[in-house]
Amino acid sequence: MVNIVEKVIKEVEPLEDAVLIEGLPGIGHVGRIVAEHIIHEFNGEKVLELYCDDFPPQVLVNEDGTVEFMNNSIYIIKEPIPIIVVTGNTQALTPMGQYQTSKRLTELGIKYGAKVVYTIGGFGIGNLKENPAVYVAATSKELANKIKGHGAVFRGDGGGILGAAGLMLTFSKLNGIDGACIMGETPGYLIDPKSAGRVLEVLSKILGIEINMDEIEKRAKEMEMFLEKIKSFEKSQEQKQAMPRDDDLRYIG
């Protein structure tokens, strides 16, 4: 049994018929980018911090001399539709901690009014794709098909969904509500705003709301420019190696 401490930041009434969106750190940080973008675009308000003794036993150091605590947070959004967002800077370290934080976060989300849960994750494929796909897997055939209708596809790999993105679906079902995991294809070795953008496009259709994508697109472009630079640098290195070097020429003639 892990110990969970909940610090209420603001007392609020439960939302009506709300959607819960989970985006914690994971592959490509797709979930966390999506969650933070939604909080930013719709002025999410932090209502609760959750601390767990199975989080990494540390604090992080900021440049201004302050420390950042390891925790998960719950934000609420009222407009354009009621949304509860779960995000944070970490996930629990052991299976038991992952189960118990996922259980508690789902229960808290339901307490705040959630009637459906969308968990967001990255689906690591090991390489960069021009058009990353968006996958879905849900607790019911109906919800899976509905989200497929909005541009997501089914995974045929028979694999799993690890951590909160998977387990919050288990606890949604055990608490009587449906849930789906929406996964953006991502290399896995870099933080991927482009993949997050694709997930946000699908999410926008599912929720029936417009989501301003300027910030995400800007970050995605910065990432692509950075990758372009690396590629052209690598290319120039290859050309150098293909050409004879001065000190090679000495031995020719």
Binding site for a copy of itself (CB under 8 A): 1-3, 5, 7, 51, 53-67, 69-70, 93-100, 102-103, 136-141, 144-145, 148, 154-163, 166-167, 169-170, 173-174, 181
Nearer to a copy of itself, 34 or 137 (CB): 137
Q: Using an 8 Å Cβ cutoff, are 134 and 31 in contact? A: no
**Least distance CB 142 / a copy of itself (angstroms):** 10
Nearer to a copy of itself, 42 or 55 (CB): 55
User: Does residue 80 have a cis peptide bond before it, meaning omega lies within 30 degrees of 0?
Assistant: yes
Other C-beta atoms within 10 Å of 231: how many?
10
Q: How far apart are CA 106 and CA 218, in angstroms?
A: 32
Return the closest-CA partner of residue 209 out of 78, 57, 99: 78
- Looking at the DSSP assignment, which residues form a beta bridge with residue 14? none
**Least distance CB 84 / a copy of itself (angstroms):** 21
Nearer to a copy of itself, 126 or 158 (CB): 158
Please give the biggest Cα pair distance in the chain. Answer: 86
Nearer to a copy of itself, 25 or 113 (CB): 25
**Least distance CB 91 / a copy of itself (angstroms):** 9
Nearer to a copy of itself, 42 or 118 (CB): 118
How many residues would you count in the chain? Answer: 253
Return the closest-CA partner of residue 92 out of 181, 30, 25: 25
**Least distance CB 71 / a copy of itself (angstroms):** 9
**Least distance CB 180 / a copy of itself (angstroms):** 9
Nearer to a copy of itself, 96 or 230 (CB): 96
**Residues in contact with 159: Cβ distance below 8 Å, sequence separation at least 6, in sequence order:** none
**Least distance CB 243 / a copy of itself (angstroms):** 33
61, amino acid identity: V
